[in-house]
Amino acid sequence: MTRPRQTSKVTLRDVAARAGVSISTASLVFSGRGPVADATAARVRTAATDLGYAGPDPLASSLRQGRAGAVAVIVEERLRDAFRDPFALAVLDGLAQELDAMGTSMLLVADPGGDGANPVAGHAVDAAVFPLCGRTDSPLVDHLLARGIPIVGSGAPVHDAVGHVVVDEHGASAAATRHLLDLGHRRLAHVSMPLGRARPTHRVDAAELSGSVHPDARDRARGFVDTAPAGSPLVETERPDVAQGEAAGRLLLDVAAHERPTGIVAQSDLLAAGVIRAAEALGLRVPQDLSVTGFDAVDLPWLDRTLTTIEQPGEAKGRLLGELTRRRLAGEPATSEPFPVSLRVGDTTAPPP
Amino acid sequence: MTRPRQTSKVTLRDVAARAGVSISTASLVFSGRGPVADATAARVRTAATDLGYAGPDPLASSLRQGRAGAVAVIVEERLRDAFRDPFALAVLDGLAQELDAMGTSMLLVADPGGDGANPVAGHAVDAAVFPLCGRTDSPLVDHLLARGIPIVGSGAPVHDAVGHVVVDEHGASAAATRHLLDLGHRRLAHVSMPLGRARPTHRVDAAELSGSVHPDARDRARGFVDTAPAGSPLVETERPDVAQGEAAGRLLLDVAAHERPTGIVAQSDLLAAGVIRAAEALGLRVPQDLSVTGFDAVDLPWLDRTLTTIEQPGEAKGRLLGELTRRRLAGEPATSEPFPVSLRVGDTTAPPP
DNA sequence: GACGGGCGTCGAATCGATTCGATAGTCTGT
DNA sequence: ACAGACTATCGAATCGATTCGACGCCCGTC
């Protein structure tokens, strides 16, 4: 039995030599492209097995063929923050399914934000996806465009050459707000995801929205502002998680009863869950004393209620992003696809007390 | 002003030609390796800017230098399942930090399990990491070994050539069990993560543990079995999440009071949270009527208790995996590093009623 | 004025495959 | 028996960089 030589790397040349054929023929055997006699193919494959050849070097293959076989998936600075929300996971999962079916894999890249070394500069990718609505102004975009790499996003970054999955954030948020108005609520409040640089959870003025670099948060906030009674309070959270939702809830609810909102529109289900926790801690019952709406309709098994929320199937959204990526790779121009969402009424909203 | 030519790709050759230097000199400018006169370097950089050259092609560069600049991070079949647990996210985050510092990026690969196309076959990576204790028998391992790609793992896959971060699962689980015994508990039960192919949450016999392909779940179960009174019941969950933890809890607790366990050792915090939910739904108070322990010490803001659990800092574990990867890439042989964990007593355990 | 030593630049080989056009050999039809 | 079509194989160019050894030039020294 022949020992595979572990010392130096086995290349197609070695395999071809051992099988007594030319390199080109050996290549045809592995790519399965050209016509090769069965006997020859068998000989090549035997030689490959004997030498411990694990298939063509992906680098060399990619270089020649001009495709890297991977796309960059760009998430926020820290992975744990990016994936803390079950919605983000669902999107990523859908995207992974679609990319997997195309035979391309995902290069996970954390966007360092402003400064710092460019994390995609040294990596070969065929396309870049911003699956979560990030900042409008990522510095990576210029680099990617310069390299001629197609970009697909979901709300951000904003650029002509970026294909988008478009959600009517404004309309959805307005629908949730109108739902509360229709139930008879008049004192409403809004809990927003971060709008700019992370700051501790605090009240914001509607006028500050124009400075936001997160279009999804901005548009949801505007949907609320444009629908709710003028002057309704807004709170911007530091992070879109349960703890900060709870902090926002305390900020809004721990006040005199006559000025306490009876309905709160939150920009995500996690924030809504936090608001509900804050309410319960203050002895308020949901929905009898306070109505709460969320956004995304994620599965929260530990929350023993059905949130009134905006149904946004994350997995399907991820698949659509994958589909847009596929089209860009096929040479089609950047287009935007609408992604419909709708209000789902659960048991966290009711007429005001 | 010169228009960058968008039509055909700009290469180093074009830049060199425009700057009036040889390709090798231009290469030296970008790699910063050799001595280049300041004036020449400036001319090359200007030419690059004019032509819209975004730096050396990563593929060509990698091929020549023999390093891909990426490592494969291999997770379970579906990303959403792999990252459902906050612990997994913490590990991944720590790993990402370390890899980021090394300038290598992460190729996220979903392990299809048994059959299916090999998802790493076509991709250039310098190493492979199995950051979550997966199956002992991944078919990817043989392929990776054949390509001579170093592998690092955390419990699985089991192979001489795989460097591991080793947690004393058995000892930690035994410590949690002993904590309950010390409190005076005599009727104990165990809730396990999946041990083999996914089956609906059900009771298992200790004898079945030897067939498990998940070493971490198996060893934790054994730690319980070897410490708890003989015959203490075991439940294997279908998935390690809150819902299945709750199902397991019902299975164990919804019985006559005299045969109901007073202490339950769960293999993860999410499972423990589910058990607590099941207990509360049955009118049992934790810890007065039932003590519950978890594993991992993850942050569960929606759980308004402090779990008694095994402290296992996920981020540090991820960083250690990154560190092992770095060493393998530096040519060091595969070694295993112990990773210490310890019992943290919270407010979910107390003497039995 | 001849000689030795840096320094900056260049030409050519190389990484490991893919692919196109050419060539030799085999078969079919009349 | 020969033209023509087809099949299997091969040689060489190519993808876009990196890198090594060589070469020319300028300077200081004896």
Residues A244-267: tens digit of each pLDDT: 999 999 999 999 999 999 999 999
Whether A52 contacts chain B with CB within 8 A? yes
Tell me what the mean pLDDT of segment B152-175 comes to.
Answer: 92
H/E element holding B50?
A: helix B38-51
Residues in A 189-208 with any Cβ partner in B closer than 8 A? none
Say if A247 is an interface residue toward chain B (CB within 8 Å): no
Whether B211 and B137 share a structural domain: no
pLDDT of residue A118: 77
**A345 within domain boundaries:** no
Residue A119: pLDDT band by 50, 70, 90 thresholds? confident
pLDDT digit string (tens) for B251-303? 999 999 999 999 999 999 999 999 999 999 999 999 999 999 999 999 998 88
Check CB contact under 8 Å for A302 and B302.
yes
User: What is the pLDDT at residue B200?
Assistant: 95
Q: Can you give the CATH number for the domain in which B56 is found?
A: 1.10.260
- CB-CB neighbors (< 8 A) of B86 in chain A: 84
CA–CA separation, A279 and A275 (whole Å) = 6
Residues of A in contact with B302 (CB under 8 A): 242, 273, 277, 302-303
Shared domain check, B295 and B318: no
Chain B from 292 to 351: CB within 8 A of any A CB: 301-304, 315
**CA of A91 to nearest chain B CA: how many angstroms apart?**
9
- pLDDT given for residue A196 in this prediction: 85
- B243 and B187 in a common domain: yes
Question: B320 lies in a domain?
Answer: yes
Residue B9: its pLDDT value, please? 85
Query: Same domain, yes or no, for A202 and A232?
Result: yes
Quick check: B62 contacting A, CB < 8 Å?
Answer: yes
My answer on whether omega of the bond before B4 falls inside 30° of 0, hence cis, is no
Residue A344 located in a structural domain: no
pLDDT band at residue B8 under the 50/70/90 scheme: low
Q: Which of A91, A202, A212 lies closest to A154, judged by CA?
A: A91
Instruction: Specify the pLDDT at position A5.
Output: 38
When pLDDT is cut at 50, 70 and 90, the band that residue B4 belongs to is very low
Q: Say how far B126 CA is from D23 C1', in Å.
A: 38
Residue nearest to nucleotide D8 (CA to C1'): A36
Residue A300 lies in a domain: yes
CB B67 within 8 A of CB B126: yes
Q: Is B209 within the bounds of a domain? A: yes
The pLDDT of residue A40 is above 90: yes
Of A106, A110, A277, the CB nearest to B96: A110
Please check the confidence at residue A178 and state whether its pLDDT lies above 60.
yes
What is the predicted pLDDT for the residue at B232?
96
Task: Give A 67-86 residues with CB within 8 A of chain B.
Answer: 68-70, 73, 78-80, 83-84, 86
A12 beta carbon < 7 A from strand D?
Answer: no
**Nearest in space to B68 (alpha carbons), one of B103, B24, B97, B40:** B103
Secondary structure E strands in A93-161: 105-110, 127-130, 151-153
For residues B300 and B179, membership in a common domain is answered with yes
> Do the domain assignments include residue B344?
no
Average pLDDT, rounded, for chain B = 91
Of B41, B65, B89, the domain-final residue: B65
- A186 and A303 housed in the same domain: yes
- Subset of residues 58-117 in chain B with CB less than 7 angstroms from any atom in strand D: 59-61, 63-65
Average pLDDT rounded to a whole number, residues B295-316: 94
Residue A302 backbone class (left: φ over 0; alpha: ψ -120 to 50; beta: rest): alpha
Q: What is the DSSP string of B246-303?
A: HHHHHHHHSS-GGGS-SEEEESSHHHHHHHHHHHHHTT--TTTT-EEE-SB----TTS
Q: Answer yes or no: are the C-beta atoms of A154 and A131 closer than 8 Å.
A: yes
Interface membership of B105 toward A (CB under 8 Å): yes
Q: Are residues B189 and B267 in the same domain?
A: yes
Check CB contact of A124 with chain B, cutoff 8 Å: yes
Same-domain status, B161 and B182:
no
Tokens of B55: 């730096």
**For A48-76, what is each residue's pLDDT tens digit?**
999 999 999 999 999 999 999 999 999 88
Count up the domains in chain A and report the number. Answer: 3
**Calpha distance A264→A269 (Å, rounded):** 12
Distance CA A270, CA A243 (A): 9
- How far is B322 from B102, CA to CA, in rounded Å? 9
pLDDT at position B77 over 70: yes
Residues A160 and A284 both lie in one domain: no
In which band, very low, low, confident or very high, does the pLDDT at A3 lie, cut at 50, 70 and 90? Answer: very low
Instruction: Using the structure, give the distance in angstroms from the CA atom of B34 to the C1' atom of D27, rounded to a whole number.
Output: 22
Which CATH number characterizes residue B141's domain?
3.40.50.2300
CB A213 within 8 A of CB A243: no
Q: Which domain holds residue B283?
A: 169-311
- pLDDT greater than 60 at residue B215: yes
Instruction: State both tokens at B334.
Output: 């595969």
Q: Is B118 on the interface with A (CB under 8 A)?
A: no
Q: In chain A, pLDDT over 90 holds for what percent of residues? A: 72
Contact of B147 with chain A, judged by CB distance below 8 Å, is answered with: yes
Task: Please report residues of A whose CB lies closer than 8 A to that of B61.
Answer: 122
Residues sharing a CB contact under 8 Å with residue A263, sequence separation 6 or more, in sequence order: A180, A183, A185, A187, A188, A189, A290, A291, A292, A293, A349, A352
Choose the weakest-confidence range: A23-27, A144-148, A224-228. Answer: A144-148
Do the domain assignments include residue B31?
yes
Q: pLDDT band at residue A84, thresholds of 50, 70 and 90?
A: confident
Question: What average pLDDT score do residues B53-82 get?
Answer: 89
Buried b (16+ CB within 10 A) or exposed e, B182-212: ebebebbbbbbbbbbeeeebeebebeebeeb
Q: Are residues A108 and A134 in the same domain?
A: yes
pLDDT at B103: 85
Query: Looking at A276, A296, A311, which one is the last position of a domain?
Result: A311
Q: A41 and chain B: CB distance < 8 Å anywhere? A: no
Which of B55, B79, B243 is the closest to A89 by Cβ?
B79
Q: Choose between B133 and B238: higher pLDDT.
A: B238
Closest residue (CA) to C1' of nucleotide D9 is: A25
A12 vs B: CB within 8 A: no
Which nt has its C1' nearest the CA of A25? Answer: D9
**Distance (Å, whole) CA B155 – CA B202:** 25
> Which is it for strands B342-344 and B309-311: parallel, antiparallel or unpaired?
antiparallel
CB contact under 8 A, B122 and A61: yes
Count other Cβ atoms within 10 Å, centred on residue A7: 6
Measured CA A122 to C1' C5 distance, in angstroms: 38
Summarised one tens digit per residue, pLDDT across range B101-159 is 888 889 998 887 666 677 788 889 999 999 987 777 777 888 898 898 999 999 878 88
Distance A59 CA to C20 C1' (A): 21
Q: Please indicate, yes or no, whether residues A214 and A269 belong to a single structural domain of this protein.
A: yes
Around Cβ A72, how many Cβ atoms within 10 Å? 24
pLDDT of residue A172 exceeding 60, the answer is yes
Whether the predicted pLDDT of A114 surpasses 80: no
Q: For strand A151-153 and strand A162-166, is the pairing parallel, antiparallel, or unpaired? A: parallel
* DSSP alpha helix (H) spans, chain A: 12-19, 23-31, 38-51, 58-65, 79-82, 86-102, 140-146, 169-183, 215-225, 242-253, 269-281, 314-329
A104 found inside a domain: yes
Among B226, B235, B227, which residue's Cα sits nearest to residue B191?
A: B235
Which bases in strand C are touched by protein, i.e. have an atom under 7 Å from a CB? Answer: 7-12, 14-20
Q: Are A54 and A47 in contact (CB under 8 A)?
A: no
Q: How far is the CA of B28 from the C1' of C8 (A)?
A: 11
User: Could you tell me which residues are beta bridge partners of residue B263?
Assistant: B188, B291
Answer whether residue A1 shows pLDDT above 70: no
Tell me the sheet residues that pair with A162.
Answer: A151
pLDDT band at B2 (very low <50, low <70, confident <90, very high): very low
Mutate to test the interface with B, among A61, A62, A246, A317 (most CBs of B within 10 A): A62
Check: CB of residue A309 under 8 Å from CB of residue A344: yes
Rounded distance, CA B155 to CA B153, Å? 6
- Both B50 and B118 in one domain: the answer is no
Nearest nucleotide relative to B9: CA against C1' = D16
A291-293 and A234-236 strand pairing: unpaired
